[in-house]
Structure 1
Amino acid sequence: MTATVKYDEVEAGQEIPPAEYRVHRVDLVMYAGASGDFNPIHWNARHAMAVGLPDVIAHGMYTMAQAGRFVTDWAGDPGALVDYGVRFSSMVVVPDNDEGAVITVSGVVQEKLADNRVVVALTARSGDARVLSKARAVVRLA
């Protein structure tokens, strides 16, 4: 766990340095087992391409979870996330190679609220595509 971010040390407009989360197909298979979402577009390239996708794609909720992880890693507390929402705007295509795909997440503190809470606007990209839009988290800091 990273150092705990303190409310008094954060200002509106403060940028949170980006983090990269690598995604391999095995991650999607494990996520399917945990979530119960075994749709073959998330693990079978032949099926994904047969339905018009470029290749296997990551679960939207998996992508959302990586952005949530970004926030809790930054805050230094896995229980710091108070409210969280996103819209899915593009797919994370996961090729069958050693590199897999990369989800890059960054953030900006938009506003300081009462009760040690801050609003963080998030940006999540994979390749040239913005994969989450209107991504916003309310985080309670120490």
Structure 2
Amino acid sequence: MTATVGYDDVEVGTELPERLFPLRRVDLVRYAGASGDFNPIHWSERAAADAGLPGVLAHGMLTMATATRLVTDWAGDPGAVLEVGVKFSAPVVVPDDDDGASVSVRGVVEKKLDDNRVVVNLTTRCGGEKVLMAARATVRLG
């Protein structure tokens, strides 16, 4: 897979258009199976309530991976992402319905580095609340 955007095609301030990513309970089950994280706060209303949580929560790493999809899709190659860093600031509560939660992700190129690398800042929200802080990805473009 080759990058769909080239290093010379972007400048500091280039925006990655907002995307909405749905997270449903079935996605939590799939992620639990892939990651081995079967903590019941990610599937049981009772366990989430007992823990004082507002509902069943998406896994933090699933939220981070969902935000990173904006960058991998933009770059055209998941292997182009060299580094990702975030701070978790709020949970993503996933209702038990057909819609689940909607995670919105926007990006902007913050820096151009040597070796065709760029740093993309990500803004990730759910229900209007920022769920990731200091979220950024370093990407090598063609």
Q: Shorter-chain TM-score category?
A: over 0.9
**Structure 2 residue aligned with 1:87:** 87
Q: Shift of the alpha carbon at 1:135?
A: 0.4
Equivalent residues in 2 for 1:1-142, closer than 5 Å: 4-142=4-142
Question: Take 1:57 and 1:2, find their aligned partners in 2: how far apart are those partners?
Answer: 35
TM-score, with normalisation over the residues of structure 2? 0.96
Q: Structure 1 residues 81, 5: closer, same or farther in 2, change over 3 A? A: same
One-letter amino acid of the structure 2 residue matched with residue 134 of structure 1 = A
Q: Confirm or deny: 8 A CA contact 1:2 1:74 kept in the other structure.
A: no
SS at match of 1:90: coil
Task: Give the aligned CA root-mean-square deviation in angstroms.
Answer: 1.3
Q: Structure 1 residues 126, 2: closer, same or farther in 2, change over 3 A? A: farther
Q: Shift of the alpha carbon at 1:69?
A: 1.3
Question: Take 2:120 and 2:27, find their aligned partners in 1: how far apart are those partners?
Answer: 27
Runs of 4+ in 1 over 6 A off after TM superposition: none
Q: Percent identity?
A: 64
Structure 1 residue ranges without an equivalent (≥5): none
1:12-50 C-alpha deviation (Å, 9 max, x unpaired):
011110111101101101100110100000001111012
Question: Take 1:84 and 1:52, find their aligned partners in 2: how far apart are those partners?
Answer: 30
Structure 2 residue ranges without an equivalent (≥5): none
Q: Confirm or deny: 8 A CA contact 2:25 2:100 kept in the other structure.
A: yes
One-letter amino acid of the structure 1 residue matched with residue 60 of structure 2 = G
Q: Confirm or deny: 8 A CA contact 1:80 1:141 kept in the other structure.
A: yes
One-letter amino acid of the structure 2 residue matched with residue 59 of structure 1 = H
SS at match of 1:61: helix
SS at match of 1:67: helix
Count of aligned positions: 142
